[in-house]
Amino acid sequence: MTTAERTQSERQRRDQILKAARAVFDEKGYESATVSDIVRRAGVAQGTFYLYFESKKAVVVELARQPMADMALRLQRILTGNESFEQILRQFVHTGFDVGGENPDLCRLMHLGSESPQELDEFHEESAVKDQINLMFQGAMDRGDMHRMNPQIASETFKSIMMGAMQLAFASENDLDQEQIKLNTADIIVRGFVTQPSVG
């Protein structure tokens, strides 16, 4: 077997484990799922799992990477446009909900509060999305479009509002309309951060 073939085979096995883990987490929830469940679904030995991931928490972090990278790419397009700060914030919220709607199982997994693995907090800390939020707020303050405040506090507050709204929309057992949650969240964020919001 050539190096290229071995690399391809390893990538396929890793993807097989990730796909199985995503299905198991969706069926059983994070807490109830076990590595044994994942390898059984993937059709690999338990030792094979540990060649690629040190724990099921590491799998969740890996599963979160793709939607977060996708969101970062979409946000980059928003931030390089000519829209007002208010429009940017609204698009930011809508993008978060779009990505959540495209990945509802991962969204539930990432926003389940006490069930959510602690490693995800660290992942959020190092993600490109966090850097984009910080730059967005600093630029808005420099232009006078945003109330003056500590950018780190602003960023953490923004993240908390978004995570709470995403949990309400995708991870909670309720009959609330996701579109209404999205629109209300955008209004709340605009009123809290924009110096002269157009909302009443």
Domain locations along the chain: 1-53, 57-193
> What pLDDT does residue 108 have?
77
How far separated are the first and last CA of the chain, in Å rounded? 66
> What pLDDT does residue 113 have?
44
Please list the ranges in the chain whose pLDDT falls under 50. 4, 113-117, 125
Q: With CA atoms as reference, report the closest residue to 195 among 85, 117, 66, 45.
A: 85
CA–CA separation, 155 and 135 (whole Å)? 10
46 exposure class (CB count in 10 Å sphere: 0-12, 13-18, 19+): exposed
> What pLDDT does residue 3 have?
55
pLDDT per residue as tens digits for the range 138-180: 889 999 999 899 888 898 899 889 988 988 888 777 788 899 9
Q: Which CATH superfamily is domain 1-53 in?
A: Homeodomain-like (1.10.10.60)
Domain 57-193: give its CATH architecture.
Answer: Orthogonal Bundle (1.10)
> What pLDDT does residue 61 have?
84
